């Protein structure tokens, strides 16, 4: 099993969510996050004063999937979240030792299906 974490622009969330559902990967967790990468800082006007901000608002999508769905999940996220610009985001992939569904006690791949 793999854990896929994708940090994307908030405006791309609906498209990624729709793409994952169509690819039979409907189980996701969405977390609002702030951070900075290659974009550095940007300016924003607030109450007539220009302020320099460092942290960008983004969304983190977390999916725990079976190994056979990994490439499909990555391709859906890349196809729906990328504008081929700096600041599009990143995808991180981790190994998952085990998963347990609390309601049934199912373990492993049975817990994430």
Q: Is the pLDDT of residue 55 over 90?
A: no
Burial status of residue 68 (CB atoms within 10 A of its CB: 0-12, 13-18, 19 or more): exposed
pLDDT on residue 72: 96
Distances (CA, A) of 2 to 31, 35, 43, 98: 18, 24, 38, 10
Q: What does the angle CA 36 – CA 41 – CA 46 come to, to the nearest 5 degrees?
A: 115
pLDDT on residue 91: 97
With beta carbons less than 8 A apart as the criterion, state whether 6 and 61 touch.
Answer: yes
pLDDT digits (tens, 9 = 90+) for 1-54: 999 999 999 999 999 999 999 999 988 999 999 888 776 666 666 677 766 667
pLDDT digits (tens, 9 = 90+) for 77-89: 999 999 998 888 9
Question: φ and ψ at 66, to 5 degrees?
Answer: -75, 160
pLDDT digits (tens, 9 = 90+) for 87-110: 889 999 999 999 999 999 999 999
The sign of the CA dihedral 11, 54, 78, 24 is negative
Select the more confidently predicted residue: 41 or 60: 60
Question: φ and ψ at 11, to 5 degrees?
Answer: -70, -15
With beta carbons less than 8 A apart as the criterion, state whether 23 and 76 touch.
Answer: yes
| C-beta neighbour count of 90 within 10 angstroms | 13
Cα of first residue to Cα of last residue in the chain, in angstroms, is 11
pLDDT on residue 68: 93
């Amino acid at each position: 099993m793999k854990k896929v974490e994708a940090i994307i622009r908030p405006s791309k969330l609906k498209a990624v969510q729709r793409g994952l559902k169509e690819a039979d990967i409907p189980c996701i967790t969405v977390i609002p996050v702030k951070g900075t990468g290659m974009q550095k800082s940007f300016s924003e006007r607030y109450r007539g004063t220009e302020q320099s901000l460092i942290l960008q608002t983004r969304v983190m999508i977390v999916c725990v999937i079976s190994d056979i769905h990994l490439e499909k999940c990555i391709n859906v996220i890349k196809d729906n979240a990328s504008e081929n610009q700096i600041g599009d985001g990143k995808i991180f992939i981790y190994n998952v030792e085990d998963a347990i569904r609390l309601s049934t006690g199912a373990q492993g791949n049975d817990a994430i299906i």
